[in-house]
Amino acid sequence: MTTPVALTIAGSDSSGGAGIQADLKTFAALGVYGASAITALTAQNTRGVTGIHAVPADFVTAQIDAVFSDLEVGAVKIGMVAQVASIDAIAAALSRWTPRHIVLDPVMVATSGDRLLAPEAVAALRGKLMPLASVITPNLPEAAALLDEPIAVSEADIESQGRWLLALGCRAVLIKGGHGEGAESTDYLVSAEGTITLATPRIATSNTHGTGCSLSSAVAAGLAKGETLEQAVRNAKAWISAAIAAADRFSVGHGHGPIHHFHKSY
């Protein structure tokens, strides 16, 4: 029996709720072996980010090459990329190793509101990483920022932005509706085959730190296990909703607390 393996390429969160730490917890919770390549160290907690230290691009490359040269990677998740040099290194490495599935979470702003991606890096992410992606997973503000457009409000505008993002080269777009309004949190999976709408009841909690990182990692975990993209997205949505619903079992920090990755275990 082959063990499913997923690789996360992202930043480290010193408080453990988001980034690399959230990704590895997600992989483990969903039965996937997790490997990592760290792009940046962040000094952060549930209240905010106080410092970012970028990992040199050549060492990002070294981490990715070390993983691929030994492990059978079924899917890659890309999170915080921090700087243009990192994006160039990641794009070059993944073009060499050609993994079957790449999930790109265009992380620009932390839950606390702190900016995590330099403005000049947005164009590089758009031009070099998006064309490699099996699916990108922006929230509503990130989708708008990638297109230099206002944040979409109506379902028609959200679907339209999804189509514009597809035109930039990725194979599918999952626009996350957690920043929207209303009783339901609705995500939109847009691909050449059409649009699938995924709605779940909106959960009243302030403990949402790492939600976006964890959802994209859950999609990558599903793809690593051999699920179709639609199956992976549906399963990830159900799992993240349960993890958010269980978040208030924790009492961690004084800001936006973490979700409960292991809600099925304890």
Reported as a single tens digit per residue, the pLDDT across 29-46 is 999 999 999 999 999 999
Domain-located, residue 260:
no
- Dihedral in degrees, nearest 10, Cα atoms 19, 21, 22, 27: 120
Please give the mean pLDDT across all residues of the chain. 92
Domain-located, residue 244:
yes
For residues 21 and 158, give the distance between their C-alpha atoms in angstroms, rounded to a whole number: 30
Active site residue 128: no
Active site residue 17: no
Domain-located, residue 259:
no
Domain-located, residue 171:
yes
Single out the catalytic residue among 176, 177, 222, 237. Answer: 176
Residue carrying structure tokens 């991606």: 117
φ, ψ of residue 87 in degrees (nearest 5): -60, -45
Q: What is the CATH number of the domain that holds 119?
A: 3.40.1190.20
**Residue 247, pLDDT score:** 87
Residue 1 confidence (pLDDT) above 80: no
Instruction: Summarize pLDDT for 69-88 with one digit per residue, the tens.
Output: 999 999 999 999 979 999 99
Residue carrying structure tokens 């899917």: 75
State the Cα angle at 231 between 227 and 234, rounded to 5°. Answer: 140
Residue 244 confidence (pLDDT) above 80: yes
Instruction: Summarize pLDDT for 157-201 with one digit per residue, the tens.
Output: 999 999 999 999 999 999 998 655 667 889 999 999 999 999 888
Domain-located, residue 19:
yes
Categorize the per-residue pLDDT at 260 as very low, low, confident or very high, splitting at 50, 70 and 90: very high
Domain-located, residue 188:
yes
How many domains is the chain built from?
A: 1
**Residue 228, pLDDT score:** 97
Of all residues in the chain, the percent with pLDDT exceeding 90 is 76
pTM > 0.85: yes or no = yes
161: domain range?
5-249
φ, ψ of residue 234 in degrees (nearest 5): -60, -45
Single out the catalytic residue among 212, 222, 237, 257. Answer: 212
Active site residue 208: yes
Q: What is the CA radius of gyration of the chain?
A: 17
Which among 164, 182, 93, 175 has a CA at the least distance from the CA of 142? 175
